Amino acid sequence: MKKYQLGEFEEVVMLTVGVLFNEAYGVSIKKEIENRLDRSVSVGALQTALKRLEEKGYLKSREGESNQERAGRPKKYFQITALGREAMYFTRQTREELWNSIPEVAWKLKLT
């Protein structure tokens, strides 16, 4: 089971990279998460997660063109790898199995 273990924030980052496809770079990922989830994301936490996901082999990066706006530094774009796709499918399947295993009676209980 640990083979494809993704933390909650890592999963959100991976999904966002998928949503942004060819436009997935640090700032765009941060903005997309914040807009979609109404959740504040620190640059440090995002950069740490991106680095960790790349080290696991779930993401790969490439440098884009450099420009004046970024003082000559190129943007670093991210893309999901085949291994990353497997990890995402595994995580999704695991969550769906857990959701589907909740007995109907558990949903009908009144909270006191």
Mean pLDDT calculated for residue range 62-80: 83
d(CA 88, CA 83): 9
Mean pLDDT of 46-52: 97
CA 89, distance to chain mean position in Å, is 13
Q: Which residues pair with 90 in a beta bridge?
A: none
Q: Are strands 74-80 and 59-66 parallel, antiparallel or unpaired?
A: antiparallel
Model-level pTM? 0.86
Q: What is the mean pLDDT of residues 3-9?
A: 88
In this prediction, residue 35 carries a pLDDT of 97
- C-alpha span between 47 and 104 (Å, rounded): 41
Residue 10, H or E segment: helix 8-20
Q: What is the CATH number of domain 2-103?
A: 1.10.10.10
